[in-house]
Structure 1
Amino acid sequence: MGTLFDEAAAAGTRTVVHLDRPFDIAPRAGTRWTITELAHLVRATAARLADAGVRPGDRVAIVKDNHWDYDLLGCAAVRLGAVPALLSAGLDTTDLVTLLERLRPAALVTTAALLTRCRDIATSAPAPLCITLDSHAPGAVHLAALDATRPCPPVRRPADEPLVIHHTSGTTGLPKLVIHSTRTLVDKLARFEAVRYPGIGVRPDDVLLNASAYAHGRTFCWTAVVLSVAPAEIVVLSGDDPDTADPLLRAHPPTVVEATPATFVRLRPLTTRLDTAFRRVRLYISTYDAVHPPALRAYLTASHHPRPLWMQGWGQTETGPLTFRFHTRRSALAPDAESTARLLGRPVPGRTRLRAVDPDTLRPVPRGRPGLLLVRTAALALGYVAEDERWNAKRVGEWWSTGDMGVLHRDGSVSVLDREVDSLPGMSCLRTEDALEQRLPQALECVVLGVPDGDPLPVVVTADGRLDPDAWKQAVYGLPSLRDPAVLTWDDVPRTGTGKVRRATLARRLTGAALAGTGRWT
């Protein structure tokens, strides 16, 4: 990863990159980049980090505003033989400080405002060396003031040593810090994805749009892939405002779109605009979280391609993708789309095995019965930073617990019902959310929280924080018993860096109680 951009430039890759705003590490360099220019930027950034004092083996924490230069900074650190730890700026400050204390980085690359936030509540300095991206700050060095010409020959670490650290989403509590190696992330995940599979592989004339959470592990792998397959253009969105995104997407209409589920929700108004920016899309890709049927239909219908596909992946930071399912216009518009939305396809052949077990006894359950999902994969991460006991507690012999409750069907496919920590006997919160979103067109998002006492609490997110009582009565007909809904706006809901709802935080805020599950496998 430290020489990835150099190798792509040397191979003559002609991909052009378009940004919605300049990089934070190159704020005056514009929004159009060639691969050769990006390779120079990574080398110059590595030189600056070395000039600041970053050395091989150091952990380098990176916390900044959302943008693809998270991964450029990560590649620059890897070039020096250091181990980058990419942390979302969307974390609560208390959680961020806790993760930094666990990480104990040699250097912290951040903004002046984030550095001040950490110093205000931390009992000690967040790192011996602090580097700011945007402006000078007391006790820190400014990245732009460092020497970008210092010679920095790449330092290659063994394939099984730590390569990069990412944190989990943290929907049910404090995120874990996950360690991946070159073998697990590059050899087992990126190489597999970089194959030009018929129908879903990247083509030389493709325009790839990525609208992601760049601090998370998915985009580091994605960066390795796109530099290898060399599409015609890459379009990068760092935000999710439809009016900001629309001009860029109209100027460079994508053929392949990857985004977080929350970003798909936020950009959905663009699907109904005249001459929609998604008219050329042949492939949509979603990871991170559940995508509900109304969003699938909106985007697949917006494409003018004769047979657009939606590839939905289920996986985790610790494992990478575990299963894939493909949606078409026909399947998204089918009468049973609501009931089959949680069907997430089959395990990746030859690479992933799944097992469903009783969460109390850990004995396998029959096909078709709900159970705790265990996985075996060669892409499993090395562990958690400073939480060896927690990592080992999730191992069940040669298997590893995903913490998800689901069903393995007789045909080998899998349905995910809920996270174990917020699962309830006799119902699936996710399936109930699908039904509610199907029946409430005005809802941006629906969340069902399983709490210890009484019926689950539904949360309905609307544009104005209002919901017609009659519409609600019709929506819950035939569903499991629910409490009266809490109706919130998008900004009222606590979210992770990937836009996922922080369910535990939301449950405590609205009910004063924790989620209903045991939390043993979280």
Structure 2
Amino acid sequence: MSYKKDPVSLGRLFDHHAERGCRTRFHLSRPFDIAPAGGTEYDSRTLAQLTAETSAWLYASGARAGDRIAIAKDNHWDYLVLACAAARFGALPVLVSGALAPETLQMVLKHAAAHVLVTTKEILQRGTDAGANLTGTVARTVCVDGPAPGAVAAAELRGGPVPEAVRTASYEPMVATHTSGTTGVPKLVVHSAETLMGHLGRTESLPWPVVGMKPWDTVATATPYNHMRMITWSAGTLRLAPRHAVVIDRTDPGTAERMFTRHRPTYVEAAPATFTAWEELADRRPDGPFRAVRVFVSTFDAMHPPTVRRFLAATRRPFPAWLQGWGQSETGPMTFRLLTRRALAARGERHPTTRNVGRPIPGFTGMRVVDPKTMRRVPAGTPGVAFARTDGRCIGYLGEEERWHTKTVGRWWNTGDWVVRSPTGLFRLLDREVDLIPGTSCIELEDVLADRLPELLEAVVLGVPGERPVPVVSLRGGPLDPAAWQRATADLPGMAEPVVLDSESLPRTSTGKVRRHELRERLLGGTATFGTGRWT
């Protein structure tokens, strides 16, 4: 079966790869929430069986073909099993992070307009405590971990017949996942089998030199499993069939150390916030848990140079690589770049190499930079808004179709990212358009500060019209040394005095990104920026 011409449907994902003989062993950091007695080891065949069983109780909940099933639970890979189970009989799975604030979760569920909500008792209780009636957004609520007020336990629905599998058209909505929500309420991004499994899944399923998974690899992932990235990673892993796949559900170093001691990874992907949490493990060299890793992969957000440098130094491999991707939920990956030890050798540079996000993926993505006022292309070296052209572009936003239309221009997609293109076609990521500061780059300043101040855990620079940018920092421990700050910022654009906050006080998305809009409102009492914010 060709991924491009006849994409595998989400409902048959595990069945298809079981039939073609995929032998990858999946090792979970804990049992699935939907199968607590099922253990922590699966293969494509047992995952197909679990999908069919899950499909039966989802069907028994009253959902039918054409209905939407919202899934908001604790982070784990069984998000994918639930999505496949819903899609199997023609329902549209809507994957939502259970870590969202109750008020935000309620708003996202209203946009989803689902018939059934699959969740947990704790999430419902958090909603009740915050005055958010989550069960009121759907006709029926199912808890995977037992009964709750206004909800039925999944166990009470088990044991019924498995519904007949439905094959939907490849261009119809197949799944919805939400964006990070750094600038407001997350958007629900809708993909079809053509866009997600056909185009974006194909990018993951090709045996790329160096960065492609190999049959002898032990791959590991630790990401938000409600995200679209989880689906493309899973499709690529099943297709390329590495020997082992380690699935980690949380960011704490203890869980990672336990899993990586049992299954030494050679290929590791994680969210940036997770890599940051694992830095203490990376420092345990030369015999630490990352000593055999040949490729690290990061998505979701920018990585600071010291973190990349630390992990590349943690492996015994002579030429390890860090694959840095730039993309969005709406488009999938747009550009990528390999970072090496040599590329990261220079420290404290004014323009860190990590802001160079590479070139468009050949044969998959086209890119251009335009003036936000005229929408005309700008020459190389001139900052502007990035537009992407890809067959993997999403087909809509649930509950916000007009918002989707404002970001489409023919086949082009307005990313809302502020970038500059070099004469040779390399892209340098500057900021989100809404966060831009004329003449400089917030995220570049944040990289420089992280590289020059080892005690820095997080840095966020906020642009303020008519005033100097405000740096917000959190530290690994102890107060900020004024002299060290002065040395680190001597050659940087003038900034206001730094605001020091505990890392836990920084508002974050489900993917670990700092919610700049909320932080700005909290600290500065307003939301005014230099950018328009029209394409957030």
TM over 0.5, yes or no? Answer: yes
Distance 1:140 1:342, change over 3 A: same
Q: Does 1:281 align with 2:290?
A: no
The answer to whether the 8 A contact 2:470-2:496 is kept is yes
State the partner residue of 2:509: 496
State the partner residue of 2:437: 424
2:526 equivalent among 509, 513, 516: 513
> Aligned ranges for residues 51-450 of structure 1 at < 5 Å?
51-118=60-127, 120-122=131-133, 125-274=136-285, 275-334=287-346, 338-450=351-463
The answer to whether the 8 A contact 1:422-1:451 is kept is no
Q: Deviations over 1:340-359 (max 9, x none)?
A: 22110001112211111111
What is the Cα deviation at residue 180 of structure 1?
0.4
In 2, Cα distance between equivalents of 1:388 and 1:12? 40
The answer to whether the 8 A contact 2:56-2:158 is kept is yes
C-alpha RMSD of matched pairs (Å): 1.6
The answer to whether the 8 A contact 2:356-2:428 is kept is yes
Distance 1:358 1:131, change over 3 A: same
1:460 equivalent among 468, 473, 480: 473
The answer to whether the 8 A contact 1:293-1:337 is kept is no
State the partner residue of 2:29: 20
Runs of 4+ in 1 over 3 A off after TM superposition: 116-120, 334-338
State the partner residue of 2:496: 483
In 1, Cα distance between equivalents of 2:160 and 2:20? 23
What is the Cα deviation at residue 457 of structure 1?
1.2
Structure 1 unmatched runs, 5+? none
Superposition TM-score, scaled by structure 1 size: 0.97
Decide which moves more: 327-336 or 238-247.
327-336
- State the one-letter code of the partner of 2:106: V
The answer to whether the 8 A contact 1:449-1:515 is kept is no
- State the one-letter code of the partner of 2:223: S
- State the one-letter code of the partner of 1:77: A
Superposition TM-score, scaled by structure 2 size: 0.94
In 2, Cα distance between equivalents of 1:133 and 1:109? 7
Question: What secondary structure sits across from 1:484 in the alignment?
Answer: coil
What is the Cα deviation at residue 504 of structure 1?
0.5
Distance 1:453 1:27, change over 3 A: farther
1:44 equivalent among 35, 42, 53: 53
In 1, Cα distance between equivalents of 2:42 and 2:478? 41
Q: Deviations over 1:404-436 (max 9, x none)?
A: 110111111111100011111111001100110
The answer to whether the 8 A contact 2:60-2:160 is kept is no
- State the one-letter code of the partner of 2:76: H
In 2, Cα distance between equivalents of 1:363 and 1:488? 41
Question: What secondary structure sits across from 1:3 in the alignment?
Answer: helix
State the partner residue of 2:6: none
Structure 2 unmatched runs, 5+? 1-9
The answer to whether the 8 A contact 1:172-1:502 is kept is yes
Matched length: 522
Percent of aligned positions that are identical: 48
Decide which moves more: 456-465 or 479-488.
456-465
The answer to whether the 8 A contact 1:370-1:406 is kept is yes
In 1, Cα distance between equivalents of 2:466 and 2:64? 53
- State the one-letter code of the partner of 1:151: V
